[in-house]
Amino acid sequence: MDEVLLRSLTPSVLTVLVRRGADFAAAEDAVQDALVEALRVWPTDQPRDPRGWLITVAWRKFLDAARSEAARRRREDRVEEEPPPGPAPSVDDTLHLYFLCAHPSLTPASAVALTLRALGGLTTRQIARAYLVPEATMAQRISRAKRTVSGARFDRPGDVATVLRVLYLVFNEGYSGDVDVAAEAIRLTRQLAAAVDHPEVSGLLALMLLHHARRAARTTPDGSLVPLAEQDRGRWDTRLIAEGVMILQAALARDRLGEFQAQAAIAALHADAPHAAETDWVQIVEWYDELTRLTDSPVVRLNRAVAVGEADGPQAGLTALSALDPALPRWTAVAAHLHERAGDLPTAARLYTEAAHKAPTLPERNHLTRQASRLNTHLRA
C-alpha cells in the first residue's frame, strides 16, 4: 500500500468534490472515508486509475451522507445526481485548497491542522500524534476549522504569503509519532511550487531543504540538542543542500527578493562552510540586514545580534542585543552566549540558568542547564 500516493492524490480528489457542489466539510469527510476504504481494498486489488477510483468512491460516500434525513435538510437544494462514469476531469483546483486552509479567519494552529488533513491526507489520529495532543482535541480543532471555511469562495486571487506562512508553521512543528510533519511540509511545498510560479515559494522550499539537510546532526541518540557550531557536518545531507542551493539561486536570479529567500540565503551560507570556524559571518550579517528591511521582525534582529557577535566580536553583539526587548523569546539565551564569548563567565552562567527556566521545550531546557553547569564547574575549579 503506497500511503504517499494516497496522500498526494487527496487534494485533487477533494477539489473535484467541491467543484461538483459539495460543501467543503462534507467533501472532506467523504474523502477521508474513501481513503479508509482504499486502505482496506488496495493491498489486494489496487485500481489502474487510483485517482478516478478515489473520486468515484468519495462522491458516493458524499451522496450517501447527503441522502440521509439530517443531511438532506441541509443540502437538498445542492445535491446533484451522480455524474456518468468516465475519466475524471483533469482540471486541478488544488491551489484553492491551499488558500482555503490558510483562511484569515483560522488561528495558526487550526490552519496547520486543516492543511495536514485536507492537503496532506493525514487522519485525525495521525495529526494528533504528531502534535502530542489527544485525538478528541484535534478532532474538535479540525471540525471548527472546517465549519469556518465551509462556504468560503475565492473570486479573487488568494494571498500566497499567508499560504507560505502556514506551510512554514507546519515545517517548524517538527516531527513526532508516526508522521514526519517536517517531511510532509516539504512535500506540500513542492506541490505548491509546481502549481505557482513565485520566487518566494521557491525560497521557502529551498529554506526547508537546507534546514532539513541538517536534521540527522541536530540531536544525539538520547535526544540532546547539538548546537549548529558543534554538529557533525559529515552527517548533513549534501543532496538536499545541493538541491536547496540550486532552487535558491534560480529564485534570487529573478530579482524579487522576499523574506524566505533571504532566510534561505543565510541557511545556504551555513551549509557552505566545511567547518563552523569558516562560516562567512560578514555575509550572514548582510543578509540579516536585508531580512530586517523586509520584515523588521524582533526575532530577526535577535538572530542578527548573534551574527554580529560572530562577525564583529561579542561586545558588538551585546550592543545590538541591548536595543531589543529582554522579554523576547531566546533573548536571555543569546545574552548568555555573548557574555560567555566576551569572557564574563559568572554573568553567562547566571543567564544560562535563567534561560533554562524560560525554555519552551525539554531538550532546550536540558541544553541550557548543561551550559550553566559547565560554566559553574569551571568557575569552581
Domain boundaries, the chain: 3-75
| Strand partners of residue 194 | none
Residues 6+ apart with CB under 8 A from 145: 106, 110, 111, 113, 114
Take residue 118 and report the three cell numbers written for it: 485536507
Task: Identify the DSSP state of 179.
Answer: B
Say yes or no to pLDDT of 71 above 80.
no
- Digit-coded pLDDT (tens) for 117-149: 888 777 888 788 777 788 899 999 998 888 888
**Residues 39-60 pLDDT 10s:** 888 888 888 899 999 999 999 9
Give the lowest-confidence range in 126-140, 170-184, 319-333: 170-184
Least confident residue range of 2-16, 236-250, 313-327, 362-376: 2-16
Residue 285 has pLDDT above 90, yes or no: yes
Residue 276 has pLDDT above 60, yes or no: yes
Residue 371: pLDDT over 50:
yes
pLDDT at 77: 47
241-261 per-position pLDDT tens digit: 999 999 999 999 999 999 999
Residue 77 class from Cβ within 10 Å (0-12 exposed, 13-18 middle, 19+ buried)?
exposed
51 or 4, which is more confident? 51
Residue with cell 526587548: 325
* Distance of alpha carbon 186 from alpha carbon 175, whole angstroms: 12
Grid cell digits, residue 294: 523586509
The per-residue pLDDT for 179 is 60
Task: Kindly report, residue by residue over 293-311, the tens digit of the pLDDT.
Answer: 999 899 999 999 999 999 9
DSSP 286-349: HHHHHHHHHH--HHHHHHHHHHHHHHH-HHHHHHHHHTS-TTSTTHHHHHHHHHHHTT-HHHHH
Q: For the range 306-313, what are the long-range contacts, defined as Cβ-Cβ under 8 Å and sequence gap of 24 or more?
A: 306/334, 306/337, 306/338, 307/281, 309/337, 309/338, 309/341, 310/279, 310/281, 310/284, 311/281, 311/282, 311/284, 311/285, 312/285
How far is the C-alpha of 47 from the C-alpha of 36, rounded, in Å?
15
Distance in angstroms (rounded) separating the CA atoms of residues 83 and 327: 59
Residue 93 is predicted with a pLDDT of 56
% of residues, the chain, pLDDT over 70: 88
Q: Tell me how long the chain is.
A: 381
Q: What is the SS3 string spanning 332-360?
A: HHHHHHHHHHCCCHHHHHHHHHHHHHHCC
pLDDT digits (tens, 9 = 90+) for 82-109: 444 444 444 345 677 788 888 888 888 8
